[in-house]
Amino acid sequence: MATTIIDDGVSAARVTSAGNRSGPRDEHRAGWLLSLPFLVLYLLFLVGPAVYGIVMSFFNATTVRPGLGKAVGLDNYRSILTSSDFWSSMGHTVWFTTLTTPPLVILALFFALLAERLHRAKALVRFIFFAPFVLPVTSVTLIFLWLYAPEVGLVPHWFEAVGLPPPNLLGETKWAFISVAALTVWWTVGFNFVLFLAGLQEVPRDVYEAAAIDGANPVRTLTGIVLPLLRPTVVLVTMLQILASMQIFNQMYLMTAGGPGTSTRPVMEFIYDTGFSDYRAGYAAAATMVYFALVLVVSLVWFLLRRQSNKEVGA
Amino acid sequence: MSQRSGGRSPLPSVNRRMVLGAGAGSLATLLAGCGSPVATGLFGAAPPTRTLTYWNLFAGGDGANMQTMEDAYRKAHPDVRLDSTVLSWGTPYYTKLSLATSGGAPPDVAVVHLSRLDTLAKAGLVSSLSPDELANAGLPTDNFTPAALQKATVDGTVRAVPLDTHPFVMFYNVEVCRKAGLLDGSGKLKPINGPQELTAALRAAQRVTGQYGGVVTITNDPSTNWRFFATLYYQLGGTVVADSGTRITLDDDKAVQALTFMQSLTRSGLLPKSVDPGGTTSLFSTGKAGFLFDGEWQIPTYRDTPVRFDVVPVPHVFGPKLVAFADSHSLVIPRNGAMDAERRSIALGFIKSLLDSSMTWAQGGHIPAWLPVRESPEFDKLRPQANYVEAATAARYDPPGWYSGAGSQFENIVGAAVAASQTTSQTPAGAVRAMRSGLQPYVTAIPPVG
């Protein structure tokens, strides 16, 4: 979630066709030279460890000892694929993704549409929505731990104020998911909001004018013009959100530590627990690869959807 | 350029070279003192020799006692800078300790539960302590509780210096038990032997409280469920796993016998069927339960409440002799190639100083492992600690295994099965099956260490 390159796949093509005139060879060499520092770091710290992880998943590697240990072939994969702990943690990650993605996309779009209509103080509103996203996860969880605290917290107090018995917001599995999801929505909605705002600014003014002249009311303008033109952004935001929610670890680890028991433990924490607390580096590497394969499938779906929506916009 | 402008202005103009020079100069001064925290942080240089880093996991009453003991050391050794860090209890602590040690940056001294020592030692993370080295540091091995020292010994070498034994015990409300006629002439609890006598005592207490005879935490606390079960199951002579956790040795008949007795207490309403740690504290401290089964480390919790209580070992429900489930805190010197002899002797001196402060540590309810204190008349007068001192010699721990020990997966799995039986949602036989199936993946996995 740290860096996101927003590539609509259209602008890049235009740039390359325009800048072809002055010595393509020199430019190629300069390009490679300029990206060399990045490539070295990328190979050293991303590709290297990833390959080592794949190798490790076929060994009984131990976290606290150097070397790979005994080769075990596909044993790690066999036990991961049949481990109920792994699959239930995978289920928790999917459930968290299901809980967070719709509100994070719909609310962000809703707020962006409202903010777009403002004539004054647009920058201030943008700042207000984006501000929580800048907070570090430790601060956010600290704030929400206080809000959710039984007896003294503000949220249980609200329940009492409307005459409902306050639930155990972090101690009960069902509520723990909702509590952490609510925190995540508050914390990260600003990022999607900014993406939608950028998308809305791409919609040409004259389209609105044409619609107004044709006598379309605001609802018709939204459903007939804005949303279809915004489709690439909606697909992009939805897919980025699914990928971000699938990586849930920080908030969950800090708020519930996967508890009660392991009933809210996301798959990333399963990997952390087995790899670091239980020293089972090889086994955790195999779990990571299975998880990676599933995220890859999601990314492929995104890729296909994006290609299709670009084609439609281009036509 | 500087010459020309210098003529006009009285201030010397600042050029790029001067700025760079000044920057480099100040960086050099910053790094010159090799003890500077900046240099240590940036380059991982070793802190000065006479600084001692110490990690522990004590909060609350134990944390305050430990600070008093650290202060005593600081007062006696003003030349050593003691740098103590408290980390959160349980698995996160052991994860940090393991990774720091295998990453080559461990603390000089660390607290470790003896139930966790076996795995740490087999992973090569704690250094061995030879009998000579211990004797030279004033810590001869025959000055420790034998059961604790035995658990501190892995593969024939001592790896840890035991600090205490902390058993699972029975608390009783003095007023309730007096009214129930369970006290003798001197105001002490009459001995209870066998399942019938314990059930009868709980029933007598229930008649007085009008609510429960006793209480033991069931919800959200697998470790306590495991400890209560382990006490009774160990009394029957049962074991759970063997060979460093690679073989299940559960004796189904004995486990069912222990669980059936435990379930009979919740089923008949003598103990609550569902109660979390907060509920347990509230029931016992307000006199709604006459007995409490919990660790002695809860003594400070109840000392702050109006309840008048005393503490004894858990009765012999089964079996001929006293068996107490317990764990021990101990002090280890993590493996560290960069540690020289001088530093090591400072570390051992610190450990000795903590053991000499065992009387302070005992305030938290723990039985000192250091015999010069445990056998002193001063400790003998300490109540209720001295009541259950025999539990230290009869201590039985978690079985060794890479997934076992205080707050471990082993305790979670077995404890969850016990809780299901205690709430009566599962039969005792079903709970034993759940233990087997829960432990199976760990038993068949190739151990990461050992």
Number of domains in chain A: 1
> Do the chains contact at B449 and A60, CB–CB below 8 Å?
no
- CATH assignment of the domain containing A157: 1.10.3720.10
C-beta atoms of A279 and B402 within 8 A: yes
pLDDT in tens, A83-100: 988 999 999 999 999 999
Q: What is the ipTM of this complex?
A: 0.78
In a domain, A14, yes or no: no
A177-227 pLDDT, tens digit per residue, is: 999 999 999 999 999 999 999 999 888 888 888 888 888 888 888 888 888
Q: Which chain B residues touch A283 with a CB distance below 8 Å?
A: 445, 448
Specify if A244 maps to a domain: yes
Q: Which residue of B has its CA nearest to A253?
A: B92
- CA dist A294 and B211 (Å) reads 53
pLDDT < 70 regions, chain A: 1-23, 309, 312-315
B342 sits in which H/E element: helix B341-356
Among chain A, residues having any CB pair with chain B shorter than 8 Å are 60, 62-65, 70, 72, 75, 79, 83, 85, 171, 259-262, 273, 276-281, 283
Reported as a single tens digit per residue, the pLDDT across B314-350 is 998 998 888 889 999 999 999 998 898 999 999 999 9
Nearest to B103 by CA among B366, B365, B336: B336
d(CA B248, CA B345): 42
Q: Do B445 and A64 touch (CB under 8 A)?
A: no
Residue among A52, A265, A83, A268 at smallest CA distance from B445: A83
Contacts 24+ apart (CB under 8 A), A201-210: A201/A116, A202/A229, A203/A229, A203/A230
Range of the domain at A97: 85-268+283-314
Whether A58 is in a domain gets the answer no
Residues B245, B437 contacting (CB under 8 angstroms): no
> To the nearest whole number, what is the mean pLDDT of chain B?
89
What domains are there in chain B, each with its CATH number? 51-162+329-368 (3.40.190.10), 168-323+400-444 (3.40.190.10)
Q: Is residue A120 part of a domain?
A: yes
Alpha-carbon gap, residue B191 to B203, rounded angstroms? 16
Chain B positions in Cβ-Cβ contact with residue A276 (cut-off 8 Å): 95, 98-99
What is the predicted pLDDT for the residue at A313? 58
Sorted by sequence, the CB contacts under 8 Å of residue A275 that are 6+ apart come out as A63, A281, A283, A284, A285
pLDDT at A205: 83
Q: How many angstroms away from the CA of B427 is the closest CA of chain A?
A: 21
Tell me the pLDDT band of B152, cut-offs 50, 70 and 90.
Answer: very high
pLDDT band for position B22 (cuts 50, 70, 90)? low
In a domain, A252, yes or no: yes
- The verdict on residue A230 lying in a domain is yes
Any domain includes A7: no
Tens of pLDDT along B207-219? 999 999 999 999 8
How far, in Å, CA of B62 to CA of A15, rounded? 67
Give the chain A residue nearest B93 (alpha carbons): A277
pLDDT recorded at residue A116: 86
| Interstrand relation of B51-56 and B81-86 (parallel, antiparallel or unpaired) | parallel
Query: Is A57 contained in some domain?
Result: no
